[in-house]
């Protein structure tokens, strides 16, 4: 598996509890490199656009409210098999289902406030990275 890039977000529930560094340490510990990073506070239109794929889901409105409730840290991660590796380190969507030692098991509050986001495919990663970063902000 060649080197890949993926989009990671440290969500408002985690920035609020000052967990940014602990989450980054988990990602780096798994061999992922942070090659772009910034802290932003999304407007409603940003969150709606980012999660457009979920617009028909019952949780969409609450998710948009949550993701605009505080600052987030957005990152591009690079490494071998980065997309799958990031999702493995994050764990399942709900902390209840997430494996022991994963970010969502250890830090997630519930299925919505689950501390981290990771792209789910190469196509999504490309789209999500382009949504959040210009080429010159990514320094691999
Ligand atoms: N989410 C939620 N309720 C659900 C499913 C998902 O609030 O029943 C939120 C949660 O924050 C999740 C995000 O919506 O991370 C995107 O959902 P997805 O199914 O893409 O999960 P992920 O890829 O983040 O594991
Ligand atoms: Mg997803």
Tens of pLDDT, residue by residue over 54-93, are 999 999 999 999 999 999 999 999 999 999 999 999 999 9
Test site for ligand 1: of 111, 120, 128, most ligand atoms within 8 A of the Cβ: 111
Q: Give the ligand whose atoms come closest to the C-alpha of residue 117.
A: 1
Buried b (16+ CB within 10 A) or exposed e, 97-109: ebeeebbbbbbbe
Q: What pLDDT, on the 0 to 100 scale, is given for residue 116?
A: 99
Of 32, 117, 132, 133, which residue is the catalytic one?
117
Q: Report the alpha-carbon angle 127-106-70, nearest 5.
A: 55
Q: Give the ligand whose atoms come closest to the C-alpha of residue 108.
A: 1
Q: Which of 60, 128, 129, 120 is nearest to 90 (CA)?
A: 120
Residue ranges around ligand 1 (CB below 6 Å): 54, 59, 63, 93, 111-112, 114, 117, 120
Active site residue 54: no
Q: Which residue has the tokens 């598996």?
A: 1
Strand partners, 10: 73, 116
HSE-CB for 34 with a 13 A CA cutoff: 18
Test site for ligand 1: of 61, 63, 94, 105, most ligand atoms within 8 A of the Cβ: 63
What is the distance in A from the centroid of ligand 2 to the CA of 17? 23
Residue 54's SS3 state is helix
93: phi then psi, degrees, rounded to nearest 5? -50, -45
Residue 1 has pLDDT above 80, yes or no: no
Taking the C-alpha atoms of residue 29 and residue 21, their distance in angstroms, rounded to an integer, is: 12
The pTM is what? 0.98
pLDDT, tens digit (0-9, with 9 covering 90-100), for 10-59: 999 999 999 999 999 999 999 999 999 999 999 999 999 999 999 999 99
Q: What pLDDT, on the 0 to 100 scale, is given for residue 2?
A: 82
Q: Are 1 and 81 in contact (CB under 8 A)?
A: yes
């Amino acid at each position: 598996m060649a080197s890949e890039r993926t989009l990671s977000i440290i969500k408002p529930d985690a920035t609020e509890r000052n967990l940014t560094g602990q989450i980054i340490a988990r990602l780096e510990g798994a061999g992922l490199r942070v090659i772009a990073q910034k802290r932003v506070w999304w407007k409603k239109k940003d969150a709606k656009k980012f999660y457009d794929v979920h617009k028909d889901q019952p949780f969409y409105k609450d998710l948009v409210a949550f993701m605009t409730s505080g600052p987030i840290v957005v990152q591009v991660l690079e490494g071998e098999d980065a997309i799958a590796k990031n999702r493995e380190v994050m764990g399942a969507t709900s902390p209840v289902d997430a494996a022991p030692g994963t970010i969502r098991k250890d830090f997630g509050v519930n299925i919505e406030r689950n501390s981290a986001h990771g792209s789910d495919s190469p196509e999504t990663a490309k789209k999500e990275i382009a949504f959040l970063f210009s080429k010159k902000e990514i320094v691999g």
